[in-house]
Amino acid sequence: MNTESVLARIDADFEASLSRLFDLVKIPSISTDPAFSGEVRRAAEWCRAELAAIGFEASVRPTPGHPMVVAHWTGKVEREGPHVLFYGHYDVQPVDPLSLWETPPFEPRIAEKPDGTRMIVGRGAADDKGQLLTFLEAARATVAETGALPCRVTVLLEGEEESGSPSLAGFLDANRAELARDLALVCDTNMWNPSTPAITATLRGLVGEEVVVQCADRDLHSGLFGGPAANPIRILARILAGLHDDAGRVTLPGFYDGVADLPADVAAQWNALGLTAESFLGPVGLSTPAGEKGRSVLEQVWARPTCEFNGIVGGYTGEGFKTVLPARASAKVSFRLVVGQDPARIRDGFRAYVRSCLPPDAKVEFHPHGGSPGLALSFDSPALARAREALTAEWGKPAVLIGGGGSIPVVGNFKRQLGMESLMIGFGLDDDRIHSPNEKYDVTSYHKGIRSWARVLDSLARA
Protein backbone atom coordinates (compact mmCIF):
# COMPACT_ATOMS: atom_id res chain seq x y z
CA MET A 1 0.00 0.00 0.00
CA ASN A 2 1.21 3.49 -0.80
CA THR A 3 0.72 4.88 2.69
CA GLU A 4 1.60 8.44 1.77
CA SER A 5 -1.04 8.60 -0.94
CA VAL A 6 -3.67 7.25 1.48
CA LEU A 7 -2.67 9.83 4.10
CA ALA A 8 -2.91 12.56 1.46
CA ARG A 9 -6.41 11.33 0.58
CA ILE A 10 -7.40 11.47 4.27
CA ASP A 11 -6.17 15.06 4.50
CA ALA A 12 -7.95 16.10 1.31
CA ASP A 13 -11.24 14.53 2.38
CA PHE A 14 -11.09 15.53 6.04
CA GLU A 15 -13.85 18.13 5.88
CA ALA A 16 -16.17 15.47 4.44
CA SER A 17 -15.12 13.10 7.25
CA LEU A 18 -15.92 15.82 9.77
CA SER A 19 -19.33 16.33 8.18
CA ARG A 20 -20.10 12.62 8.46
CA LEU A 21 -19.19 12.69 12.15
CA PHE A 22 -21.57 15.61 12.62
CA ASP A 23 -24.32 13.62 10.90
CA LEU A 24 -23.84 10.69 13.28
CA VAL A 25 -23.61 12.85 16.41
CA LYS A 26 -26.93 14.48 15.45
CA ILE A 27 -28.70 11.14 16.03
CA PRO A 28 -29.71 10.90 19.74
CA SER A 29 -28.92 7.19 20.10
CA ILE A 30 -29.39 6.98 23.89
CA SER A 31 -29.56 3.25 24.58
CA THR A 32 -30.64 3.40 28.24
CA ASP A 33 -33.91 5.24 27.55
CA PRO A 34 -36.64 3.27 25.73
CA ALA A 35 -38.02 6.54 24.37
CA PHE A 36 -34.97 6.72 22.08
CA SER A 37 -35.08 3.14 20.75
CA GLY A 38 -36.04 4.39 17.29
CA GLU A 39 -33.09 6.75 17.25
CA VAL A 40 -30.73 3.94 18.29
CA ARG A 41 -32.03 1.94 15.35
CA ARG A 42 -31.55 4.95 13.08
CA ALA A 43 -27.91 5.23 14.16
CA ALA A 44 -27.40 1.53 13.42
CA GLU A 45 -28.86 1.97 9.94
CA TRP A 46 -26.66 5.02 9.39
CA CYS A 47 -23.54 2.99 10.25
CA ARG A 48 -24.66 0.12 8.01
CA ALA A 49 -25.19 2.48 5.08
CA GLU A 50 -21.77 4.09 5.51
CA LEU A 51 -20.02 0.73 5.71
CA ALA A 52 -21.85 -0.39 2.58
CA ALA A 53 -20.81 2.82 0.81
CA ILE A 54 -17.17 1.99 1.57
CA GLY A 55 -17.64 -1.49 0.06
CA PHE A 56 -18.35 -3.72 3.07
CA GLU A 57 -21.10 -6.30 3.10
CA ALA A 58 -22.98 -4.79 6.03
CA SER A 59 -26.15 -5.68 7.91
CA VAL A 60 -28.11 -4.62 10.98
CA ARG A 61 -28.61 -7.67 13.21
CA PRO A 62 -31.44 -8.00 15.75
CA THR A 63 -30.80 -8.75 19.43
CA PRO A 64 -33.21 -8.90 22.40
CA GLY A 65 -32.31 -5.23 22.84
CA HIS A 66 -30.75 -2.77 20.43
CA PRO A 67 -29.25 -4.07 17.17
CA MET A 68 -25.68 -4.90 16.27
CA VAL A 69 -24.07 -3.80 13.03
CA VAL A 70 -21.86 -6.45 11.41
CA ALA A 71 -19.83 -5.85 8.27
CA HIS A 72 -17.30 -7.91 6.32
CA TRP A 73 -14.78 -6.71 3.79
CA THR A 74 -15.12 -9.11 0.86
CA GLY A 75 -13.21 -7.04 -1.66
CA LYS A 76 -9.56 -7.08 -2.59
CA VAL A 77 -6.88 -7.29 0.12
CA GLU A 78 -3.25 -6.48 -0.47
CA ARG A 79 -1.91 -9.21 1.82
CA GLU A 80 -3.32 -12.28 3.49
CA GLY A 81 -2.09 -11.03 6.86
CA PRO A 82 -4.23 -11.33 9.99
CA HIS A 83 -8.02 -11.10 9.87
CA VAL A 84 -8.95 -8.33 12.32
CA LEU A 85 -12.25 -7.53 14.04
CA PHE A 86 -12.83 -3.84 14.70
CA TYR A 87 -15.19 -3.01 17.59
CA GLY A 88 -16.89 0.25 18.50
CA HIS A 89 -20.26 1.36 19.84
CA TYR A 90 -22.72 3.80 18.31
CA ASP A 91 -24.95 4.35 21.35
CA VAL A 92 -24.42 7.24 23.76
CA GLN A 93 -25.08 8.26 27.35
CA PRO A 94 -28.08 10.37 28.42
CA VAL A 95 -27.46 14.11 28.36
CA ASP A 96 -28.67 15.05 31.84
CA PRO A 97 -28.36 17.61 33.29
CA LEU A 98 -29.38 19.37 30.09
CA SER A 99 -29.13 22.80 31.71
CA LEU A 100 -25.33 22.48 31.94
CA TRP A 101 -24.86 22.12 28.18
CA GLU A 102 -23.68 25.33 26.55
CA THR A 103 -25.44 24.34 23.30
CA PRO A 104 -27.87 21.51 22.47
CA PRO A 105 -26.06 18.15 22.85
CA PHE A 106 -27.20 16.76 19.50
CA GLU A 107 -26.33 19.87 17.53
CA PRO A 108 -22.56 19.34 17.11
CA ARG A 109 -20.33 22.35 16.67
CA ILE A 110 -16.68 23.33 16.45
CA ALA A 111 -15.44 25.30 19.44
CA GLU A 112 -12.01 26.57 20.46
CA LYS A 113 -10.12 26.21 23.70
CA PRO A 114 -8.31 29.27 25.05
CA ASP A 115 -5.09 27.95 23.48
CA GLY A 116 -6.73 27.80 20.04
CA THR A 117 -7.23 24.03 19.97
CA ARG A 118 -10.32 23.16 17.93
CA MET A 119 -12.76 20.65 19.33
CA ILE A 120 -15.97 18.94 18.26
CA VAL A 121 -18.65 19.42 20.92
CA GLY A 122 -21.66 17.11 21.18
CA ARG A 123 -22.87 13.98 22.93
CA GLY A 124 -20.98 10.99 21.56
CA ALA A 125 -18.31 13.08 19.84
CA ALA A 126 -15.64 11.18 21.77
CA ASP A 127 -17.55 8.25 23.28
CA ASP A 128 -17.65 6.52 20.90
CA LYS A 129 -18.86 7.96 17.60
CA GLY A 130 -15.74 9.97 16.84
CA GLN A 131 -13.56 7.06 17.86
CA LEU A 132 -15.33 4.46 15.72
CA LEU A 133 -15.38 6.79 12.72
CA THR A 134 -11.60 7.17 12.87
CA PHE A 135 -11.41 3.55 11.75
CA LEU A 136 -14.24 3.70 9.22
CA GLU A 137 -12.84 6.86 7.64
CA ALA A 138 -9.37 5.29 7.42
CA ALA A 139 -10.93 2.32 5.61
CA ARG A 140 -12.88 4.67 3.34
CA ALA A 141 -9.77 6.60 2.29
CA THR A 142 -7.71 3.43 1.82
CA VAL A 143 -10.31 1.83 -0.43
CA ALA A 144 -10.85 5.05 -2.39
CA GLU A 145 -7.12 5.42 -3.00
CA THR A 146 -6.05 1.82 -3.57
CA GLY A 147 -9.20 -0.16 -4.30
CA ALA A 148 -8.35 -2.57 -1.48
CA LEU A 149 -7.75 -2.92 2.25
CA PRO A 150 -4.36 -4.01 3.56
CA CYS A 151 -5.83 -7.13 5.23
CA ARG A 152 -9.14 -8.84 5.94
CA VAL A 153 -11.46 -6.83 8.17
CA THR A 154 -14.71 -7.51 10.01
CA VAL A 155 -16.54 -4.73 11.85
CA LEU A 156 -18.80 -5.11 14.90
CA LEU A 157 -20.63 -2.02 16.17
CA GLU A 158 -22.71 -2.34 19.33
CA GLY A 159 -25.80 -0.37 20.35
CA GLU A 160 -25.92 -1.21 24.06
CA GLU A 161 -22.46 -0.48 25.44
CA GLU A 162 -23.69 2.49 27.47
CA SER A 163 -26.48 0.40 29.01
CA GLY A 164 -24.35 -2.55 30.16
CA SER A 165 -24.16 -4.63 26.95
CA PRO A 166 -26.99 -7.02 27.97
CA SER A 167 -27.18 -8.62 24.50
CA LEU A 168 -23.46 -8.84 23.76
CA ALA A 169 -22.57 -12.22 25.30
CA GLY A 170 -25.49 -13.99 23.67
CA PHE A 171 -24.73 -12.40 20.30
CA LEU A 172 -21.08 -13.44 20.45
CA ASP A 173 -22.03 -17.01 21.37
CA ALA A 174 -24.56 -17.21 18.54
CA ASN A 175 -22.13 -15.79 15.98
CA ARG A 176 -18.82 -17.15 17.23
CA ALA A 177 -17.76 -18.68 13.90
CA GLU A 178 -18.43 -15.41 12.08
CA LEU A 179 -16.77 -13.07 14.58
CA ALA A 180 -13.79 -15.00 15.99
CA ARG A 181 -10.80 -13.52 14.18
CA ASP A 182 -7.05 -13.30 14.67
CA LEU A 183 -7.10 -10.02 16.60
CA ALA A 184 -9.66 -7.52 17.89
CA LEU A 185 -9.12 -3.78 17.48
CA VAL A 186 -10.93 -1.73 20.12
CA CYS A 187 -11.14 2.05 19.80
CA ASP A 188 -12.64 3.26 23.09
CA THR A 189 -9.56 4.37 25.03
CA ASN A 190 -7.33 7.42 25.48
CA MET A 191 -3.94 8.78 24.52
CA TRP A 192 -1.41 9.54 27.25
CA ASN A 193 -1.64 13.26 26.49
CA PRO A 194 -2.67 15.37 23.47
CA SER A 195 0.59 14.70 21.63
CA THR A 196 1.55 11.21 22.83
CA PRO A 197 -0.26 8.16 21.41
CA ALA A 198 -0.86 5.16 23.62
CA ILE A 199 -1.87 1.53 23.48
CA THR A 200 -3.73 0.19 26.49
CA ALA A 201 -2.04 -3.14 27.12
CA THR A 202 -3.55 -4.14 30.46
CA LEU A 203 -6.95 -3.96 32.12
CA ARG A 204 -7.80 -4.86 35.67
CA GLY A 205 -10.63 -7.24 36.47
CA LEU A 206 -13.14 -6.94 39.26
CA VAL A 207 -14.79 -8.85 42.09
CA GLY A 208 -17.63 -7.08 43.87
CA GLU A 209 -19.04 -8.31 47.17
CA GLU A 210 -21.58 -6.98 49.64
CA VAL A 211 -21.14 -8.45 53.10
CA VAL A 212 -23.87 -8.20 55.76
CA VAL A 213 -23.19 -9.00 59.42
CA GLN A 214 -26.24 -9.74 61.62
CA CYS A 215 -26.22 -10.08 65.41
CA ALA A 216 -29.36 -9.41 67.48
CA ASP A 217 -32.82 -9.95 66.04
CA ARG A 218 -33.64 -6.21 66.36
CA ASP A 219 -31.96 -2.86 66.99
CA LEU A 220 -31.09 -2.46 70.68
CA HIS A 221 -30.85 0.46 73.13
CA SER A 222 -27.13 1.08 73.69
CA GLY A 223 -27.68 2.06 77.29
CA LEU A 224 -29.42 -1.19 78.12
CA PHE A 225 -27.43 -3.58 75.91
CA GLY A 226 -24.13 -1.78 75.21
CA GLY A 227 -21.28 -3.97 76.41
CA PRO A 228 -22.70 -7.48 76.58
CA ALA A 229 -24.49 -7.40 73.19
CA ALA A 230 -22.49 -8.04 70.05
CA ASN A 231 -22.28 -4.93 67.83
CA PRO A 232 -22.18 -5.74 64.09
CA ILE A 233 -20.62 -2.37 63.25
CA ARG A 234 -17.68 -3.10 65.54
CA ILE A 235 -17.34 -6.62 64.16
CA LEU A 236 -17.49 -5.45 60.55
CA ALA A 237 -15.02 -2.63 61.17
CA ARG A 238 -12.51 -5.06 62.64
CA ILE A 239 -12.94 -7.42 59.69
CA LEU A 240 -12.39 -4.65 57.14
CA ALA A 241 -9.41 -3.21 59.01
CA GLY A 242 -7.70 -6.59 58.89
CA LEU A 243 -7.75 -6.76 55.09
CA HIS A 244 -4.60 -4.60 54.74
CA ASP A 245 -1.26 -4.67 56.50
CA ASP A 246 0.90 -1.67 57.38
CA ALA A 247 2.61 -1.84 53.96
CA GLY A 248 -0.71 -1.50 52.13
CA ARG A 249 -0.78 -5.12 50.96
CA VAL A 250 -3.96 -7.19 51.00
CA THR A 251 -3.79 -9.87 53.69
CA LEU A 252 -6.06 -12.54 52.21
CA PRO A 253 -4.10 -15.82 52.00
CA GLY A 254 -3.03 -16.51 48.43
CA PHE A 255 -4.25 -13.10 47.20
CA TYR A 256 -1.03 -12.42 45.26
CA ASP A 257 -0.62 -15.95 43.88
CA GLY A 258 -0.01 -15.65 40.14
CA VAL A 259 0.62 -11.90 40.23
CA ALA A 260 3.77 -11.13 38.23
CA ASP A 261 6.02 -8.14 38.69
CA LEU A 262 6.01 -5.56 35.93
CA PRO A 263 8.73 -6.14 33.28
CA ALA A 264 11.68 -3.85 33.95
CA ASP A 265 11.50 -2.13 30.56
CA VAL A 266 7.79 -1.38 30.96
CA ALA A 267 8.36 -0.09 34.50
CA ALA A 268 11.09 2.20 33.16
CA GLN A 269 8.77 3.46 30.43
CA TRP A 270 6.04 4.24 32.96
CA ASN A 271 8.49 6.00 35.24
CA ALA A 272 9.65 8.10 32.29
CA LEU A 273 6.11 9.44 31.85
CA GLY A 274 6.83 11.74 34.75
CA LEU A 275 3.64 11.20 36.76
CA THR A 276 4.29 11.87 40.44
CA ALA A 277 2.21 11.21 43.51
CA GLU A 278 1.76 14.96 43.85
CA SER A 279 0.57 15.49 40.27
CA PHE A 280 -1.78 12.50 40.48
CA LEU A 281 -3.25 13.09 43.94
CA GLY A 282 -2.97 16.86 44.21
CA PRO A 283 -5.91 17.70 41.92
CA VAL A 284 -8.25 15.69 44.20
CA GLY A 285 -6.97 17.25 47.42
CA LEU A 286 -4.62 14.44 48.48
CA SER A 287 -0.85 14.22 48.76
CA THR A 288 0.40 10.85 50.03
CA PRO A 289 -0.07 7.47 48.31
CA ALA A 290 -1.98 5.02 50.48
CA GLY A 291 -1.42 1.82 48.49
CA GLU A 292 1.39 -0.71 48.44
CA LYS A 293 4.63 0.79 49.66
CA GLY A 294 7.47 0.61 47.15
CA ARG A 295 5.16 0.73 44.12
CA SER A 296 4.77 3.79 41.90
CA VAL A 297 1.38 5.42 41.48
CA LEU A 298 1.04 4.15 37.91
CA GLU A 299 2.07 0.65 38.90
CA GLN A 300 -0.51 0.66 41.68
CA VAL A 301 -3.29 1.81 39.35
CA TRP A 302 -2.38 -0.16 36.22
CA ALA A 303 -0.62 -3.33 37.32
CA ARG A 304 -1.37 -4.18 40.95
CA PRO A 305 -4.47 -5.73 42.54
CA THR A 306 -6.38 -3.85 45.21
CA CYS A 307 -9.07 -4.22 47.86
CA GLU A 308 -11.24 -1.16 48.46
CA PHE A 309 -14.33 -0.35 50.51
CA ASN A 310 -17.04 1.40 48.54
CA GLY A 311 -19.73 1.85 51.16
CA ILE A 312 -20.54 1.03 54.80
CA VAL A 313 -24.00 1.15 56.34
CA GLY A 314 -25.16 0.36 59.88
CA GLY A 315 -27.24 1.78 62.67
CA TYR A 316 -28.81 5.22 62.69
CA THR A 317 -27.57 7.50 59.90
CA GLY A 318 -30.22 10.22 59.92
CA GLU A 319 -30.10 13.72 61.33
CA GLY A 320 -29.37 14.12 65.01
CA PHE A 321 -28.31 11.30 67.30
CA LYS A 322 -29.79 7.96 68.30
CA THR A 323 -28.19 5.65 70.84
CA VAL A 324 -28.76 2.35 69.13
CA LEU A 325 -26.94 -0.94 68.66
CA PRO A 326 -27.92 -2.00 65.13
CA ALA A 327 -28.98 -5.52 64.33
CA ARG A 328 -27.15 -5.40 61.00
CA ALA A 329 -24.19 -3.72 59.37
CA SER A 330 -23.09 -4.04 55.76
CA ALA A 331 -20.19 -3.08 53.51
CA LYS A 332 -19.58 -3.09 49.79
CA VAL A 333 -16.09 -4.33 48.95
CA SER A 334 -14.43 -4.38 45.54
CA PHE A 335 -11.26 -6.15 44.45
CA ARG A 336 -9.47 -4.97 41.32
CA LEU A 337 -7.62 -7.93 39.84
CA VAL A 338 -4.69 -8.37 37.48
CA VAL A 339 -3.71 -11.18 35.15
CA GLY A 340 -3.00 -14.37 37.08
CA GLN A 341 -5.76 -13.94 39.67
CA ASP A 342 -8.89 -16.06 39.62
CA PRO A 343 -12.03 -14.05 40.50
CA ALA A 344 -13.80 -17.11 41.96
CA ARG A 345 -10.83 -17.91 44.17
CA ILE A 346 -10.59 -14.32 45.40
CA ARG A 347 -14.30 -14.29 46.23
CA ASP A 348 -14.04 -17.60 48.07
CA GLY A 349 -10.96 -16.41 49.95
CA PHE A 350 -12.70 -13.22 51.05
CA ARG A 351 -15.75 -15.11 52.30
CA ALA A 352 -13.61 -17.63 54.17
CA TYR A 353 -11.68 -14.79 55.83
CA VAL A 354 -14.88 -13.03 56.94
CA ARG A 355 -16.34 -16.21 58.38
CA SER A 356 -13.11 -16.91 60.26
CA CYS A 357 -13.39 -13.52 61.98
CA LEU A 358 -16.96 -13.87 63.25
CA PRO A 359 -17.47 -14.10 67.02
CA PRO A 360 -20.33 -16.07 68.61
CA ASP A 361 -23.83 -14.70 67.90
CA ALA A 362 -22.73 -13.11 64.61
CA LYS A 363 -24.02 -14.38 61.29
CA VAL A 364 -23.03 -13.30 57.80
CA GLU A 365 -24.54 -13.24 54.33
CA PHE A 366 -22.90 -12.33 51.05
CA HIS A 367 -24.28 -10.78 47.87
CA PRO A 368 -22.04 -10.98 44.77
CA HIS A 369 -21.82 -8.02 42.40
CA GLY A 370 -19.99 -9.24 39.32
CA GLY A 371 -16.64 -10.79 38.68
CA SER A 372 -14.16 -10.74 35.81
CA PRO A 373 -10.45 -11.50 35.44
CA GLY A 374 -7.72 -9.04 34.58
CA LEU A 375 -6.55 -8.96 30.99
CA ALA A 376 -3.25 -8.18 29.31
CA LEU A 377 -1.80 -8.27 25.84
CA SER A 378 1.65 -9.82 25.94
CA PHE A 379 4.20 -7.01 26.09
CA ASP A 380 6.25 -8.82 23.43
CA SER A 381 3.27 -9.32 21.08
CA PRO A 382 4.24 -8.76 17.41
CA ALA A 383 0.91 -7.00 16.82
CA LEU A 384 1.65 -4.65 19.69
CA ALA A 385 5.10 -3.87 18.30
CA ARG A 386 3.72 -3.15 14.81
CA ALA A 387 0.97 -0.90 16.15
CA ARG A 388 3.49 1.03 18.23
CA GLU A 389 5.66 1.59 15.18
CA ALA A 390 2.71 2.87 13.17
CA LEU A 391 1.51 5.24 15.91
CA THR A 392 5.02 6.52 16.51
CA ALA A 393 5.40 7.27 12.79
CA GLU A 394 2.17 9.27 12.76
CA TRP A 395 2.57 11.27 15.97
CA GLY A 396 6.34 11.75 15.89
CA LYS A 397 6.63 10.58 19.50
CA PRO A 398 7.07 7.02 20.77
CA ALA A 399 3.73 5.40 21.49
CA VAL A 400 3.57 4.38 25.14
CA LEU A 401 2.10 1.22 26.59
CA ILE A 402 -0.34 2.11 29.33
CA GLY A 403 -2.67 0.22 31.60
CA GLY A 404 -6.32 0.62 32.47
CA GLY A 405 -7.21 0.77 36.14
CA GLY A 406 -10.78 -0.26 35.35
CA SER A 407 -12.33 -2.70 32.94
CA ILE A 408 -13.59 -2.68 29.35
CA PRO A 409 -16.08 -5.56 29.47
CA VAL A 410 -16.09 -6.31 25.73
CA VAL A 411 -12.37 -7.10 25.85
CA GLY A 412 -13.11 -9.79 28.42
CA ASN A 413 -15.95 -11.13 26.25
CA PHE A 414 -13.65 -11.36 23.25
CA LYS A 415 -11.07 -13.25 25.28
CA ARG A 416 -13.45 -15.65 27.04
CA GLN A 417 -15.97 -16.28 24.27
CA LEU A 418 -13.96 -15.88 21.08
CA GLY A 419 -10.46 -16.72 22.32
CA MET A 420 -9.26 -13.45 20.84
CA GLU A 421 -6.76 -10.89 22.12
CA SER A 422 -7.59 -7.19 21.81
CA LEU A 423 -5.40 -4.29 20.73
CA MET A 424 -6.82 -1.21 22.45
CA ILE A 425 -5.96 1.97 20.57
CA GLY A 426 -7.90 5.16 21.12
CA PHE A 427 -7.46 8.87 20.64
CA GLY A 428 -9.54 10.28 23.49
CA LEU A 429 -8.18 12.68 26.09
CA ASP A 430 -8.75 12.95 29.83
CA ASP A 431 -10.58 16.25 29.40
CA ASP A 432 -13.09 14.99 26.80
CA ARG A 433 -15.88 15.09 29.41
CA ILE A 434 -17.38 11.80 28.29
CA HIS A 435 -20.67 11.01 30.10
CA SER A 436 -20.81 14.68 31.17
CA PRO A 437 -22.27 17.88 29.71
CA ASN A 438 -20.30 19.51 26.88
CA GLU A 439 -18.59 16.31 25.76
CA LYS A 440 -15.92 17.06 23.16
CA TYR A 441 -13.38 15.42 20.87
CA ASP A 442 -10.36 17.38 19.69
CA VAL A 443 -10.28 17.88 15.94
CA THR A 444 -6.64 16.77 15.96
CA SER A 445 -7.62 13.54 17.76
CA TYR A 446 -10.15 12.82 15.04
CA HIS A 447 -7.93 13.76 12.10
CA LYS A 448 -4.75 12.07 13.28
CA GLY A 449 -6.80 9.14 14.59
CA ILE A 450 -7.95 8.46 11.01
CA ARG A 451 -4.38 8.72 9.75
CA SER A 452 -3.20 6.47 12.58
CA TRP A 453 -5.59 3.65 11.71
CA ALA A 454 -4.49 3.75 8.07
CA ARG A 455 -0.92 3.25 9.23
CA VAL A 456 -1.83 0.60 11.83
CA LEU A 457 -3.83 -1.50 9.36
CA ASP A 458 -1.00 -1.41 6.84
CA SER A 459 1.53 -2.32 9.52
CA LEU A 460 -0.54 -5.21 10.90
CA ALA A 461 -1.06 -6.58 7.39
CA ARG A 462 2.71 -6.97 7.04
CA ALA A 463 2.81 -9.51 9.89
- The CATH 3.40.630.10 portion of the chain extends over 3-203+374-461
Asked whether the beta carbons of 411 and 186 are under 8 A apart, the reply is: yes
- The CATH 3.30.70.360 portion of the chain extends over 205-259+305-372
Whether 463 has a pLDDT exceeding 80, the answer reads no
Q: Which CATH class is domain 205-259+305-372?
A: alpha beta
pLDDT tens digit sequence for 75-122:
999 998 899 999 999 999 999 999 999 999 999 999 999 999 999 999
pLDDT tens digit sequence for 357-371:
999 999 999 999 988
pLDDT at 405: 85
Query: What is the band of 313 on the pLDDT scale with cuts at 50, 70, 90?
Result: very high
pLDDT at 357: 98
Architecture of domain 3-203+374-461: 3-Layer(aba) Sandwich (3.40)
pLDDT tens digit sequence for 141-159:
999 999 999 999 999 999 9
The type of residue at 126 is A
pLDDT at 297: 94
Query: What is the band of 408 on the pLDDT scale with cuts at 50, 70, 90?
Result: confident
Q: Name the 3-class secondary structure at 105.
A: coil
pLDDT at 379: 86
As a whole number, mean pLDDT of residues 297-302 equals 94
pLDDT at 365: 98
pLDDT at 406: 81
pLDDT at 223: 93
Q: What is the pTM of this model?
A: 0.88
Query: What is the band of 160 on the pLDDT scale with cuts at 50, 70, 90?
Result: very high
As a whole number, mean pLDDT of residues 277-301 equals 93
> How far is CA 220 from each of CA 188, 231, 363, rounded to the nearest angstrom?
51, 10, 17
Query: What is the band of 293 on the pLDDT scale with cuts at 50, 70, 90?
Result: very high
pLDDT tens digit sequence for 315-344:
999 999 999 999 999 999 999 999 999 999
As a whole number, mean pLDDT of residues 33-38 equals 98
Whether 282 has a pLDDT exceeding 80, the answer reads yes
Of 54, 125, 39, the residue nearest 86 (C-alpha): 54
Cβ-proximal residues to 241 (8 Å cutoff; 6+ apart), any chain? none
Rounded to whole angstroms, the Cα distance separating 302 from 305 reads 9
As a whole number, mean pLDDT of residues 378-406 equals 93
pLDDT at 171: 98
For all residues of the chain together, what is the average pLDDT? 96
pLDDT tens digit sequence for 413-462:
999 999 999 999 999 999 999 999 999 999 999 999 999 999 999 999 98
pLDDT at 421: 95
Rounded to whole angstroms, the Cα distance separating 422 from 424 reads 6
Query: Side-chain half-sphere of 446: how many Cα atoms within 13 Å?
Result: 30
pLDDT at 19: 98
Rounded to whole angstroms, the Cα distance separating 74 from 50 reads 16
pLDDT at 410: 94
Whether 174 has a pLDDT exceeding 80, the answer reads yes
Whether 191 has a pLDDT exceeding 80, the answer reads yes
The rounded percent of the chain whose pLDDT value lies above 70 is 100
Cβ-proximal residues to 225 (8 Å cutoff; 6+ apart), any chain? 216, 325
As a whole number, mean pLDDT of residues 220-230 equals 94
